Structure 1
Amino acid sequence: MKKNLCCLILPALFALGMVSTIHGADLGDKAAKLSIAKWVKGEAVDVTDGKNIYVVEFWATWCPPCRASIPHLTKLQKKFADKGVVFVGISDEDEETVTPFVNKMGKDMDYRVAIDQNDKTSKAYMAAYGINGIPHAFVVDKAGRIVWHGHPMADLEKTLQAIVDGKYDLEKTRKRLKAEELFQKFVQTVAEGGEKEKIDAMGAELEALDKELGGVMPDGSRFNAAEVTRIIQFQMLLEKYEEALDENPASAKKMEAELVKLAPKDWSLEDHKVDTQFRKDFTDYYAAVGRRPDKLKAASLRTKLTESTTKNAMLLNDFSWAILTDRNIKERDIPLALNLAEKAVKHSGGTNASVLDTYARALYDSGKKEEAIKQQKLAIKHAKSDQERELFEENLKNFEK
């Protein structure tokens, strides 16, 4: 089991309710016609005409992940345009909201955009498949069937490539989707303290699917029911422990032995305590440099933050980025941001693209332009996705001006 298993389980815990396991539609079912109130960009299309492959994506102007997906969707539309793939973005907002947004995006949102008619299209797609969260995309093949659905930043590109190459395996995708839904249900049942027999049955089914599909975990690693169960129980106990630290320290102390027993091998109670204090200090610091500044308190907390022994690269990175960019911070302590960013690079091994991007920004804001450019190029080198790479390349252009 990989070290980052906790990071894989946590999204499943938070995502409960984003995907419903109770729905009537399945992959391979015929796609519904689009019910459109207004075509904001591009000509109207009929996704059931059998002429093209269609990507129907549900989004909204207020949704940050939706906005982040737009450049990626534009890139995919350009890539697959000559393969007969047509993208349609559908929002349930009014024309007065959508049209100005699309016009402002211009070529960065270079595919068809439409406004749903009284949520009819959303009901025929999103509700039919039990989807509650956006952005979410559906792929309709030339036979008029929905053959894939998921987050547009996930396997959409790989799916389209397989379809146009004639190598797409619908049955395998059905099984993988079933495994994903079962995994969500498994996590929820364990988290809620469900019946052992039910958990064991789901675990056995997931292990069988894992063997057949070559991995059902989000990162492709193998599923082990006992290990995943232990991690979920650990996460639930950790949540109770953190609540008790403030409300009932004596009760929290009693939980520590069980926490250590359930914890992953790479987890340390002492490190966790350091990280918890670091979070608390930054929360207080954030308030002290925000809308009601308190310079004396901020100075005291600054010392605590710089002297912290935390090795949590993501915490260091996030707090550095907040100091550099958060609008609520009125006076930016760039030296502090640089200090935290340098530590984040150190504790992440110097290969985490997001951390390097933050470090480059801290260097640039410190007046160290050449070093910032060097680190930004490293961030681009280590980027894990096209979207991330494009964002970092844009940052590099700004540094080089």
Structure 2
Amino acid sequence: MTRGARIALLIAVAAVAGAAGFLASRQFAPSAPAQVVAQETVDALFALQLPDTDGNEQTMAQWRGKVVVVNFWATWCPPCRKEIPDFSDASRALAGDPVQFVGLSIDDADKVRAFDKELDVPYPLLIASPQVLGLAAGFGNQAQALPFTVIFDRDGKVRHVKLGTLKRAELEGKIRALLAS
């Protein structure tokens, strides 16, 4: 395959994924309480060890005991780019609480670094492979579309899942309810 054909294929895949994410954000607007998720799926997520934007390995397990907001996203996903400022604002607003936001980016490290520099995201952005996106299916996102968010309570139980964009007010409301319980 020529370089031009590879680039065209990459652009086509990105466009389809972005469109799927956009449609998912419209079609699946309400965030639902989480369905029953197999413990092995939760364990697999918390067993991940991925590099951050500085290349330092981070383990998901380090955030156990907090409300953990895991957002699967990519820089090439327009709905993802739209929701991250709301996630950043919510993260800053809840900075004094036992809450940890984590972005699992299905993307190239250089692009994630540039995005982080541009928006000054206050929480870890970890560089994940497309195989990590496969975990999303275990949380109910069979299409593995982006953006996709999973919110865990302090006991590590899945409490909310959302396929599509999540607004700041809804996100903070769900987190504050978990902090109060």
Q: TM-score, normalised by structure 1?
A: 0.32
Q: Aligned partners of 1:94, 1:35: CA distance in 2, in Å? A: 18
- Give SS of 2:52's match: strand
2:103 is the counterpart of 1:103: no
Q: Aligned partners of 1:91, 1:115: CA distance in 2, in Å? A: 5
Q: Aligned partners of 2:63, 2:116: CA distance in 1, in Å? A: 26
Q: Aligned partners of 2:90, 2:83: CA distance in 1, in Å? A: 11
Partner of 1:143: 155
Q: 1:130 aligns with which of 137, 140, 156?
A: 140
Q: Is the 8 A contact 2:102 2:126 kept in 1?
A: yes
Structure with the larger strand share: 2
Q: Structure 2: any 5+ residue segments left out of the alignment?
A: 1-22, 29-33
Partner of 2:87: 73
Instruction: Report 1 or 2 for greater relative contact order, CA contacts < 8 Å, sequence distance ≥ 6.
Output: 2
Instruction: Please show how residues 117-196 of structure 1 align to structure 2 within 5 Å.
Output: 118-124=129-135, 126-131=136-141, 132=143, 133-150=145-162, 151-153=165-167, 155-166=170-181
Q: 2:51 aligns with which of 32, 35, 38?
A: 38
Partner of 1:194: none
What is the alpha-carbon root mean square deviation over aligned residues? 2.8
- Give SS of 2:35's match: coil
Q: Structure 1: any 5+ residue segments left out of the alignment?
A: 1-13, 20-24, 167-401
Flag the 1:157–1:43 CA change in 2: closer, same or farther, 3 A: farther
Q: Aligned partners of 1:89, 1:105: CA distance in 2, in Å? A: 13
Q: Which has the larger radius of gyration?
A: 1
Amino acid at match of 2:84: I
Identity of aligned residues (%): 25
Flag the 1:48–1:146 CA change in 2: closer, same or farther, 3 A: farther
Distance apart, 1:104 and its partner CA: 2.2
Structure with the larger helix share: 1
Q: TM-score, normalised by structure 2?
A: 0.67
Amino acid at match of 2:95: A
Flag the 1:43–1:56 CA change in 2: closer, same or farther, 3 A: same
Instruction: Please show how residues 14-29 of structure 1 align to structure 2 within 5 Å.
Output: 15=24, 26-27=35-36, 29=38
Between the two proteins, the alignment pairs up a number of residues equal to 143
Q: Aligned partners of 2:61, 2:152: CA distance in 1, in Å? A: 7
Q: Aligned partners of 1:92, 1:36: CA distance in 2, in Å? A: 14
Amino acid at match of 2:67: I
Partner of 1:86: 100
Amino acid at match of 2:48: S
Q: Is the 8 A contact 1:58 1:136 kept in 2?
A: yes
